[in-house]
């Protein structure tokens, strides 16, 4: 049950005006009968303002337990001013490698023989007694050169003759050194005996080379007295029964 908004009469069932949405009886239901608000507004040329809704946005509270992912930072690779992909560490490695290579080459150069001289090579340890014997042989050679008015030879500081003399003593195979440079001359002498004196044997061997060398076509004498030789490497190796003397002239 409803009430007519125009006359106050009870209405059952209530009927509403489709324009103003108010309840009226059958008599006052027409717009003109109840002076409908919508009708009076249209007659005055005033259009009712549309009803607008105001939407309020509520900022949701951030859940403390949920952590937002942080933006990912990508680091750029460092590049050297020398070019893409070339770093200071790589340059340092290259420099160190070149330095070590250069040092190795310089060491090899120190071991290589001169064009006009014998190969020097690494010097092996030689006893004081062996050095004295080498110097004694050099003295005997220079005595013979002085007699022929030739310049004296100097003792070569390499150990090519000494190493070969020790090899001959070990193998017992008397032959010229196959590894000797072609620009060097070589004398080999051998003595076999018991309880011998090394100094006396060396005297006898040098004498035979100079004055009794016919069996060798005077080749040993020619090497000792060759005027273009300036140095000699000497090797003396012996045991209880054998002695080997090697002379490499250059």
Residue by residue, DSSP assigns 35-102 as T-HHHHHHHTT-PPPPP--PPPPPPPPPPTTSPPPPPPPPPPPP-BTTBTT--HHHHHHHHHHHHHHH
Q: Residue with structure tokens 């590894």?
A: 179
Q: Which of 41-55, 56-70, 227-241 has the lowest mean pLDDT?
A: 41-55
Determine the Cα–Cα distance for residues 109 and 107; give it in Å rounded to an integer.
5
Q: Over 70: is that where the pLDDT of 117 sits?
A: no
Q: In the structure, what pLDDT confidence band is assigned to residue 152 with cuts at 50, 70 and 90?
A: very high
Tell me which DSSP letter residue 233 carries: E
The residue ranking higher by pLDDT, 72 or 98, is: 98
Total-model pTM:
0.52
Q: Residue 154 in contact with residue 216, Cβ under 8 Å?
A: no
Determine the Cα–Cα distance for residues 140 and 135; give it in Å rounded to an integer.
9
Q: Residue with structure tokens 């001169």?
A: 114
Q: What is the CA radius of gyration of the chain?
A: 61
Give the containing element (helix H, strand E) for 177.
Answer: none
pLDDT of amino acid 55: 43
Determine the Cα–Cα distance for residues 148 and 142; give it in Å rounded to an integer.
10
Determine the Cα–Cα distance for residues 248 and 38; give it in Å rounded to an integer.
139
Q: Which of 49-63, 82-96, 209-223 has the lowest mean pLDDT?
A: 49-63
Hey, which bits of the chain come out as E strands?
2-3, 10-11, 15-16, 23-24, 154-155, 185-192, 231-238, 242-249
Question: Which tokens sit at 111?
Answer: 């071991």
φ, ψ for residue 37, nearest 5 deg: -60, -40
pLDDT of amino acid 145: 96
The residue ranking higher by pLDDT, 130 or 122, is: 130
């Amino acid at each position: 049950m409803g009430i007519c908004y125009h006359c106050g009469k009870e209405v059952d069932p209530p009927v509403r005006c489709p324009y103003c949405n108010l309840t009226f009886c059958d008599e006052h239901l027409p717009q003109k009968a109840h002076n409908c608000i919508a009708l009076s507004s249209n007659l005055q040329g005033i259009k009712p303002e549309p009803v607008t809704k105001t939407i309020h946005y509520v900022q949701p509270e951030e859940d403390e337990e949920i952590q937002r992912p942080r933006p990912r930072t990508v680091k750029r690779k460092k590049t050297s001013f020398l070019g893409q992909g070339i770093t200071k560490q790589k340059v340092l490695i290259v420099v160190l490698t070149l330095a070590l290579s250069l040092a190795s080459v310089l060491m090899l150069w120190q071991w290589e023989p001169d064009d006009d001289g014998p190969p020097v090579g690494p010097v092996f340890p030689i006893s004081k007694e062996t050095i004295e014997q080498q110097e004694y042989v050099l003295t005997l050679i220079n005595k013979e050169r002085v007699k022929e008015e030739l310049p004296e030879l100097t003792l070569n500081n390499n150990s090519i003759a000494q190493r070969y003399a020790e090899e001959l003593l070990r193998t017992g195979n008397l032959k010229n050194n196959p590894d000797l440079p072609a620009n060097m001359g070589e004398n080999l002498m051998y003595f076999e005996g018991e309880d011998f004196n090394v100094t006396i044997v060396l005297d006898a061997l040098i004498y035979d080379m100079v004055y009794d060398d016919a069996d060798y076509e005077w080749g040993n004498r020619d090497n000792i007295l060759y005027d273009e030789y300036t140095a000699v490497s000497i090797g003396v190796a012996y045991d209880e029964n054998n002695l080997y003397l090697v002379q490499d002239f250059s």
